[in-house]
Amino acid sequence: MRAGLFVLLAVVVLIALIWMWQMAPISTTVFAQQPAAQSAGQQPAQGQGKQAGGGRGGGRGNTPTFVGPPAGMQALPLDLFSSKNFYKDQKLWSDQRYFRCNTPRQLTDIWTSRRIGEKPPTSAAWSDCSADYPREKIVSPYPYKTAKEHYEALLAAAKAKGGPTVYTKATTPDWDGYYGRDQQADHGAEWIWGTVNQVPTILSLLTPEYQKRMVQMNYHEAVDNAPQWEASFCYPEGFMRWWAQASQGGNFQLTVTPWQVQFLSGIAANFLRQVLIGKEHVQKVPQWYGETVGFWDGTTLVSWTANVQGWTLSHSMFEFSGKIETVETFKPVYDASGKFTGLDHETVFYDPEAFVQPLRATYRYARRATPDNPTQRYTYIECLSNLRNTDGRPTQLTKADPRYVDYYGRPWAQNWENYFEVGWDRPQDALPQDILDLFK
């Protein structure tokens, strides 16, 4: 009898602890959006810090930081952080000093990295004014004006050699496996990350309307501390996010068949990209990741993506329109012994509405594991969020808010009980078996 009472008492105590933990008040402000008071007094000392990430393309921590303009650089009388209406400052947008030489990624992180200073936003830090990635390495080196023209030229070249190459199940290239971005190889896509360029360099790639949209994002993320990131609200990632740093779109599972090549990746949302071999575009409605057709030129995979839903790269970068199209090539990489080790990937972006000319990105992907690896898996992602905009800023809801969704606690039943079963005499809830098992 005593043993039974002891178990019952222990269960009651455990339930009480669980209830207290669930009901404990938490901050209603997203961790990424702490108020300025929390960063007061933590502004880095003047001087240049070590570049983040140990090399190119990092730029998200230990950012080169100056509390005032770096030596030899004179501040503008008006800049992003002192402006009351950035729209009226258009003539200043081409001057890196307007953004205090911060890269787009540094702007989006300026609050979380505690570089906003003690009296935000006017106390925001400067960055390295000499750091930039050449514009000429971003624009396409090819003469083509449209993706269609580019793709048809590559197809004609393959036909001139007797192609396109047609594979069977027995002869398809052995590319299956799991891939990751090769940090030791080509870095020609990192401008998309927003970590290696001055803001005016990126703006110079955009049409006036899309320049305005990018500076709008710069201002509201860096000055107002009001980012609107895809993952925060479980928005769609959007097509160009496949090339972004944080999305992990470039760490993919690859499957090759005679009729399609499939890429599966993601970290906050799933990216499913399929190259349909020998097909033509038929979609009438824009798709989040577009519609991709392609062909084989020997061991080179060539693809053309169209019918894309316009969206944004987010994180103080730019938007792209529904007219965006790409031509991509994937070429095998071999080591000195002739062993296949990865893929060299080139993308040319065509968007006559958003870009002043076609843009280019290159990257190498290393095969990290083959399909016979006993532990490698792709884990399907379900984006779950209790962040909601409150007065324009992302805010974490608590259980006290009627909009809160307890994703792991039968939310459908909670909805019925809260709205349709109030005052009902319901059976006493039974303890979950996994809790009872603790006392066996």
Q: What is the pLDDT of residue 28?
A: 30
Q: 230 in a domain, yes or no?
A: no
Is 409 inside a domain boundary?
Answer: yes
pLDDT at 61: 53
Cα–Cα distance, 234 to 382 (Å, whole number): 9
When pLDDT is cut at 50, 70 and 90, the band that residue 150 belongs to is very high
Alpha helices in 175-240 (DSSP H): 199-203, 208-222, 230-233
Residue 69 near residue 77, CB atoms below 8 Å? no
Is residue 231 within 8 Å of residue 270, measured between CB atoms? no
Looking at the domain assignment, is residue 340 inside a domain? Answer: no
Cβ pair 327, 336 in contact under 8 A = no
Q: How many residues does the chain have?
A: 440
Can you tell me the mean pLDDT for 362-384? 93
Q: Specify the pLDDT at position 407.
A: 87
The full DSSP string for 19-77 is: HHHHHS---SB-GGG--GGGGTT-PPPSB--PPGGGSTT--SSS--BBSSPPTT----S
* pLDDT over threshold 50, residue 245: yes
Query: Mean pLDDT across the stretch 227-231?
Result: 88
Whether 23 and 399 have beta carbons less than 8 Å apart is answered as yes
Residue with tokens 């994937």: 330
Residue 417 is assigned to a structural domain of this protein: yes
Residue 20 lies in a domain: yes
* DSSP for 349-383, written as a single string: EE-TTTBSS-EEEEEEEEEEE-TT-SS--PPP---
CA-CA distance, 302 to 224, in Å (whole number)?
A: 43
Count of domains for the chain: 1
Instruction: Tell me the residue type at 30.
Output: V
Residue 335 pLDDT exceeds 50: yes
Residue 9 within a domain: yes
Q: Residue 13 and residue 18: Cα distance in Å, rounded? A: 9
User: Which range (49-53, 57-61, 281-285) has the least confidence?
Assistant: 49-53
Answer whether 59's CB lies under 8 Å from 133's CB: no
Is residue 22 a part of any domain in this protein?
A: yes
Cα 319 to Cα 155, 239, 287, 435: the distances in Å are 30, 11, 16, 49
Domain with 22, as residue range(s), is 2-26+398-439
Average pLDDT, the chain: 86
pLDDT value at residue 187: 86
Query: For residues 311 and 287, what is the distance between their CA atoms, to the nearest angstrom?
Result: 11
What are the structure tokens assigned to 242, written together?
A: 């496949």
Question: If you ran DSSP here, which 8-state letter would residue 154 be given?
Answer: H
Domain membership of residue 423 (yes or no) is: yes
What percent helix, strand, coil does the chain show, rounded to 5?
25, 20, 55
How would residue 25 be classed by pLDDT, with cut points 50, 70 and 90? very low
The pLDDT of residue 1 is above 70: no
